[in-house]
Chains A and B, each alone.
Chain A
Amino acid sequence: MFAATTRLQTVQKEVTAMKTIPTTDFKTGQMTFFTGPAAALGEPMYKGHIMAAEEINALGGLLGKRKITTIKADEAAGTDANVKELRRMALEEKIDMFAGITSSGNTPALGPVAEELGVLTLFTDGCTDFLFDKAVPNPHFIFRITNIQSADGVTASVMANMQWPNVKSVAHLHPDYSYGHNAYDHFKIVMSKLNPSAQTVYEGWPKLGTSEFTEHITKIIDAKPDLLYSSLWGGDYVAFYKQANGYGLFNKMHFASTLSHGVAPQFLGKDHPEGTIAGHHSNYYFTYSNAQPGSWPLNDSFIARYRARWDGEYPNFQAEGAYTGVYMLKTAIERAAKLVGGWPEVDQIIGQLEGLSMAAPAGYIYIRPDNHQAYKDTVTGLSKNSPDYPFNIVDPMSVVKMPIQKLTAPPNWPKGDPTSTYTWIDQTWPKLSS
Chain B
Amino acid sequence: METLAIYLLNPLYYAAILFLISAGLSLIYGVMRVVNLAHGSLYALGAFVTAWLVGLVAAHVPAVVLYLILPVGALAVGAVGLIIEPTLLRPLLKRPEEYQLLMTFGLLLILEDCMRLLFGPYPLFAREPLEFLGSSIIVGDLYPNYNLLVIVVGLVTAAFSWVLTYKTKFGVIMRATSLDMRMTSALGVNVKRVYLKAFAIGAFLAGLGGAFSAPTQGAVLGMGQDALVLAFIVVVVGGLGSLEGAFVGSLITGFVRSIGITLFPEIELAILYLIAAAVLLIRPKGLFGRD
List residues of A whose CB falls within 8 A of some B CB.
34-37, 39-40, 43, 76, 176, 203-207, 209, 211-212, 214-216, 218-219, 221-222, 234-235, 238-239, 242-243, 245-248, 267, 269, 271
Q: Indicate whether A212 sits within 8 Å of B14 (C-beta atoms), given known contacts A35-B221, A218-B3.
A: yes
**Cβ-based interface call for B97 (8 A):** no
A246:B123 contact, CB within 8 angstroms = no
Chain A min CB distance to B104 (Å): 21
| Overall SS of chain B's interface | helix
Interface residues in B188-243 (C-beta closer than 8 Å to A): 216-218, 220-223, 226
Find chain B residues with CB under 8 A from A76 CB: 221-222
Interface 1/0 per residue, B133-177 and A, CB below 8 Å: 001000001111011000000000000000000000000000000
A221:B127 contact, CB within 8 angstroms = no
Q: Which of A221, A242, A271 contacts B3 (CB 8 A)?
A: A221
With CB as the reference atom, state the residue of chain A lying closest to B215: A242
B127:A269 contact, CB within 8 angstroms = yes
In whole angstroms, how far apart are the Cα atoms of A246 and B141 in the complex? Answer: 11
A239:B261 contact, CB within 8 angstroms = no
19 CB contacts below 8 A, A to B, read A35-B121, A36-B121, A36-B220, A36-B222, A37-B221, A37-B222, A43-B122, A176-B269, A209-B226, A211-B223, A212-B217, A214-B10, A214-B13, A216-B261, A218-B3, A221-B3, A221-B141, A238-B125, A243-B217
Q: Indicate whether A246 sits within 8 Å of B135 (C-beta atoms), given known contacts A37-B123, A40-B122, A222-B1.
A: yes
Chain A min CB distance to B169 (Å): 38
Find chain A residues with CB under 8 A from B123 CB: 37, 39-40, 234-235, 238, 267
Q: How large is the interface on B (under 10, 10 to 19, 20 to 34, 35 or more residues)?
A: 35 or more
Interface 1/0 per residue, B96-140 and A, CB below 8 Å: 000000000000000000001000011101010011000100000
| Overall SS of chain A's interface | helix
In whole angstroms, how far apart are the Cα atoms of A243 and B135 in the complex? Answer: 11
Chain B min CB distance to A174 (Å): 11
Find chain B residues with CB under 8 A from A209 CB: 222, 226
Q: Which of A176, A205, A214, A234 contacts B14 (CB 8 A)?
A: A214
In whole angstroms, how far apart are the Cα atoms of A263 and B125 in the complex? Answer: 14
Find chain B residues with CB under 8 A from A207 CB: 268-269
Most B-side CB within 10 Å, residue of A37, A40, A211:
A211
B216:A247 contact, CB within 8 angstroms = no
Chain B min CB distance to A30 (Å): 15
Q: Indicate whether A37 sits within 8 Å of B220 (C-beta atoms), given known contacts A207-B269, A219-B261.
A: yes
Chain B min CB distance to A97 (Å): 24
Chain A min CB distance to B165 (Å): 28
**Cβ-based interface call for B258 (8 A):** yes
B262:A242 contact, CB within 8 angstroms = no
Find chain B residues with CB under 8 A from A212 CB: 14, 216-217
Find chain A residues with CB under 8 A from B220 CB: 36-37, 211, 235
In whole angstroms, how far apart are the Cα atoms of A246 and B221 in the complex? Answer: 24
Find chain B residues with CB under 8 A from A218 CB: 3, 6-7, 10
Q: Which of A205, A206, A242 contacts B130 (CB 8 A)?
A: A242
In whole angstroms, how far apart are the Cα atoms of A218 and B121 in the complex? Answer: 31
Most B-side CB within 10 Å, residue of A34, A205, A215, A219:
A215
Interface 1/0 per residue, B247-291 and A, CB below 8 Å: 000000000011001100110110000000000000000000000
With CB as the reference atom, state the residue of chain A lying closest to B226: A209
In whole angstroms, how far apart are the Cα atoms of A206 and B131 in the complex? Answer: 24
In whole angstroms, how far apart are the Cα atoms of A37 and B121 in the complex? Answer: 9
In whole angstroms, how far apart are the Cα atoms of A183 and B11 in the complex? Answer: 29
Chain B min CB distance to A311 (Å): 12
B258:A215 contact, CB within 8 angstroms = yes
Interface 1/0 per residue, B1-42 and A, CB below 8 Å: 101001100110110000000000000000000000000000
Most A-side CB within 10 Å, residue of B116, B142, B226:
B142
In whole angstroms, how far apart are the Cα atoms of A242 and B51 in the complex? Answer: 14
Chain B min CB distance to A59 (Å): 31
A35:B116 contact, CB within 8 angstroms = yes
In whole angstroms, how far apart are the Cα atoms of A243 and B14 in the complex? Answer: 13
B221:A36 contact, CB within 8 angstroms = yes
With CB as the reference atom, state the residue of chain A lying closest to B124: A235
B218:A235 contact, CB within 8 angstroms = yes
B142:A215 contact, CB within 8 angstroms = no
In whole angstroms, how far apart are the Cα atoms of A361 and B147 in the complex? Answer: 43
B268:A176 contact, CB within 8 angstroms = yes
With CB as the reference atom, state the residue of chain B lying closest to A202: B265
Find chain A residues with CB under 8 A from B226 CB: 209
Q: Which of B14, B127, B143, B269 contacts A242 (CB 8 A)?
A: B127
Q: Indicate whether A34 sits within 8 Å of B222 (C-beta atoms), given known contacts A176-B269, A215-B257, A248-B142.
A: no
In whole angstroms, how far apart are the Cα atoms of A209 and B230 in the complex? Answer: 14
Q: Indicate whether A243 sits within 8 Å of B216 (C-beta atoms), given known contacts A43-B122, A215-B261, A271-B131.
A: yes
Q: Which of B216, B257, B268 contacts A205 (CB 8 A)?
A: B268
Additional A-B contacts beyond A215-B261, A239-B216, A269-B127 (9; CB < 8 A): A37-B222, A204-B265, A215-B10, A215-B11, A218-B10, A219-B262, A238-B125, A246-B135, A247-B142
Find chain B residues with CB under 8 A from A222 CB: 1, 3
